[in-house]
Amino acid sequence: MKIVDLTDDRKELYFFCLEDWSEEMKEAGDHKRAWYEKMKDQGLGVKLALDDTGEVGGMIQYAPIEHTFVEGQDLHFIYCIWVHGYKKGRGNFQKRGMGKALLKAAESDAKEKGAKGMVAWGISLPFWMRASWFKKQGYTKVDKQGIQVLLWKPFTNDAIPPKWIKKKKPETTPGKVMVTAFVNGWCQAQNIVYERAKRAAAEFGDKVVFQEIDTFERPTLLEWGTSDALFIDNKEVRTGPPPSYKKIRKLIARKVSKL
């Protein structure tokens, strides 16, 4: 196994989160590419895990916390760590230690850049980005928001714990259904949700108002407290895993029928 930095010849694969075989990923548009172009000069780190044949099996992306959707200072934040586990496409690379190797490499890089600690987010349920996995790697919980757990590993004694930004819900508009989609660009799954919601909302004409909130700029992110989310009126829709286009349209139609 080998851990390497992202190179130009592997960028397209990275933009598809190693799922270049997936038709669903093509729905995500160019949001991640645009996000990368803005973040590459803001300290973004991307590393890939290669197997013995040179095949890419895993990835991690992280950045100084001041540019992310978490409050903190002098820390680095892990957006996600992902080892391809599907039989389709690249095949299953899990259970080979790639995740641990990627995490260790990212931590070493953050230390070299002067970070006082590493921060990650995890899910309290047993699926992708499990909080329990990070705990096994020496991370401890510092904050929680629903099923999302914020964890960290301090490198220095004077490191200050991070925290979630408080969320704010969008307002409703009388006589209309408000579909509000927050989009940041870093996550292809959430980019898919945004694109599906935008398409679905357009089907209902002037009965539905589609509101896009681009959270890349820090002030907007601090105002709303979320990087990616979907609201129909002021009710949040669970977006992990991404709901289908059909489901999103059905949820909107249900609200429209009550106007």
Q: Are 214 and 115 found together in one domain?
A: no
Over the Cα atoms of the chain, what is R_g?
A: 19
- 87 is a domain residue: yes
Instruction: Dihedral sign for Cα 239, 11, 198, 69, please.
Output: positive
Q: What is the pLDDT of residue 128?
A: 78
Q: Which pLDDT band, with edges at 50, 70 and 90, does 223 fall under?
A: very high
CB contact at 8 A, 21 and 85 = no
Question: Is 123 within the bounds of a domain?
Answer: yes
Shared domain for 71 and 152, answered yes or no, is: yes
pLDDT band per the 50, 70, 90 thresholds, residue 236: very high
pLDDT tens digits along 65-82: 999 999 999 999 999 999
CATH number for the domain harbouring residue 192: 3.40.30.10
Looking at the domain assignment, is residue 171 inside a domain?
Answer: no
63 burial via Cβ count (<10 Å: 0-12, 13-18, 19+): buried
Give the closest residue to 81 by CA, choosing from 49, 111, 36: 49
48 in the same domain as 151? yes
| CA 153/CA 155 separation, integer angstroms | 7
**Does 219 lie in the same domain as 109?**
no
User: What is the domain extent for residue 210?
Assistant: 177-256
Considering the domain architecture, whether residues 249 and 146 belong to the same structural domain is answered as no
Is 172 within a domain? no
Domain final residue, candidates 112, 129, 164 = 164
Q: Which of 164, 198, 224 is the last residue of a domain?
A: 164
Mean local confidence (pLDDT), 144-160 = 96
Quick check: is 106 in a domain? yes
- Same domain membership, residue 140 and residue 13: yes
127 pLDDT more than 90: no
- Amino acid letter, residue 53: T
Average pLDDT, the chain: 95
CATH number assigned to the domain comprising residue 125: 3.40.630.30
Residues 156, 90 share a domain: yes
Q: Does one domain contain both 242 and 115?
A: no
Q: What is the rounded CA–CA span in Å between residue 30 and residue 118?
A: 28
Q: For residues 114 and 90, state if they share a domain.
A: yes
Q: Which of 114, 133, 164 is the last residue of a domain?
A: 164
If asked whether residues 134 and 24 sit together in one domain, one would say yes
Percent of the chain with pLDDT over 70: 100
Residues 34 and 160 in one domain: yes
Q: Can you tell me the mean pLDDT for 228-232?
A: 97
Instruction: In whole angstroms, give the CA distance from residue 65 to residue 151.
Output: 13
3-state secondary structure the chain: CEEEECCHHHHHHHHCCCCCCCCHHHHHCCHHHHHHHHHCCCCCEEEEEECCCCCEEEEEEEEEHHHCCEECCCCEEEEEEEECCCCCCCCCCCCCCHHHHHHHHHHHHHHHCCCCEEEEEEECCCCCCEHHHHHHCCCEEEEEECCEEEEEEECCCCCCCCEECCCCCCCCCCCCEEEEEEECCCCHHHHHHHHHHHHHHHCCHHHEEEEEEECCCHHHHHHHCCCCEEEECCEEECCCCCCCHHHHHHHHHHHHCCC
Answer yes or no: is 169 within a domain. Answer: no
Pair (159, 195) in one structural domain? no
125 — pLDDT class (breaks 50, 70, 90): confident
Q: Is residue 79 part of a domain?
A: yes
The string of pLDDT tens digits covering residues 21-58 is 999 999 999 999 999 999 999 999 999 999 999 999 99
| Count of the separate structural domains present in the chain | 2
